[in-house]
Structure 1
């Protein structure tokens, strides 16, 4: 779904007169994103294990570090909020994001692999789920996905970041310090 957000962000920025060049906005700790992605990919080796949880939570910790280092960009503060929300629910549920089966069904998402425990990053939400309201509970049938509140914050922040990077800043007041 992030590719859809990035693509939409680029198209909107171009329609608004932005250029396909990245302005120098002073991004710091750029190594964090590929390192976090690598950890997420390695997590698929051992689904449902302590190693899996450690890899996923370490990747989220790296993302938080990188986003804090870049919090001078208002759009990345929104991404940071989303990452923290997702990290909280994942940490509370043993390293996996809970998925609401009703939301999955409403989106047309097949959760058989989640039900079988074969998913490295997801678990079916149930009565024992902690912070379930922060899990993947929002059906998005158009793209056959179930997303979280954190995913919405991440997506909006990335969309706004693309507007900034392509030279046509969108001003949105996020309150004090924004």
Structure 2
């Protein structure tokens, strides 16, 4: 279901970038966001690709293999999020947790059914031909479990059927992108450091240094201070 992939990847990026610009963020903040342990992302992607290759394995062996690959991918993504959420803002952590919760709901439906069950009625409403099956999707039947967590929400414009978990993933990813766009860029950090250095090295106007006394400064003395500075006349004996 290519439309579903568009909803999970393309839509969050578009919404997140638009919301980031609307709230005063910049794309440079997103680019400058430092990500750790990217190899975990590649490992999770490899697990997903391996799951697609198991579509021809039917029965319990295929279901067990797909469940293992799915669990491995989920744990890998969870570990990557835990590594990268340290020291982040509360909003960013909440958004990432929302996306993770959506992935968990999808994972539960897939683990119990071997593949993600989808509603045939919803698929028909979205313009998808009946009887479609992929390595990750299968039409819901009488014996399907947790069908409410499956794909039962039709999206006709992109010919896709999505789940509650997909919605949480989309919203969470969009907020993560919008929030990351408010991260300080290297240029802003450099300017802040320069301003701080200038404040530390700026001369103090209230301090008095040697050589600062000029004749013009005598005009600013008060009359009382001027009388104190005059020498007292010597008293002569009468």
TM range (shorter): 0.7 to 0.9
TM-score (norm 2): 0.62
**Aligned in 2, Cα 1:30/1:113: closer, same or farther, shift over 3 Å?**
same
SS, match of residue 113 in structure 1: coil
Distance (whole Å) between structure 1 residues aligned to residue 82 and residue 109 of structure 2: 20
Cα distance in 1 between the residues matched to 2:76 and 2:121: 32
Aligned positions, number: 163
What residue number does 1:147 align with? 162
Aligned position for 2:77? 63
Q: Is 1:122 aligned to 2:141, yes or no?
A: no
Which residue in the other structure is 2:104 paired with?
Answer: 84
Superposed displacement of residue 98, structure 1: 0.5
Asked whether the 8 Å contact 1:99–1:124 carries over to 2, the reply is yes
Q: CA RMSD in A?
A: 2.2
Kindly state the Cα deviation for residue 38 of structure 1 after the two structures are TM-superposed: 1.6
Q: Of residues 4, 17, 23 in structure 2, which corresponds to 1:16? A: 23
Partner of 1:41: 49
Answering whether residue 102 of structure 2 is matched by residue 97 of structure 1, we say no
Distance in 2, matches of 1:61 and 1:111, equals 33
Can you give the 5+ residue segments of structure 1 that lack an aligned partner in the other structure? 169-178
Please say if residues 11 and 170 of structure 2, whose CA atoms lie closer than 8 Å, have aligned partners that are also in contact: no
**SS of 2:132's equivalent?**
helix
Cα drift, residue 122 of structure 1: 0.9
CA distance 1:111–1:29, change in 2 (3 Å): farther
C-alpha distance in 2, partners of 1:101/1:136?
9
Contact 1:6 1:162 (8 Å CA) reproduced: yes
- Structure 2 CA distance for partners of 1:93 and 1:152, relative to 1, 3 Å: same
Q: Deviations over 1:118-140 (max 9, x none)?
A: x1111111111111100011111
Cα distance in 1 for residues equivalent to 2:31 and 2:13: 16
What TM-score do you get using the length of structure 1 for normalisation? 0.80
The answer to whether structure 1 residue 108 and structure 2 residue 123 are counterparts is no
TM-fit CA distance, 1:66:
2.6
Render the CA deviation track for 1:88-127: whole Å, top value 9, x for unaligned.
Answer: 1111112x1111111111111234331xxxx111111111
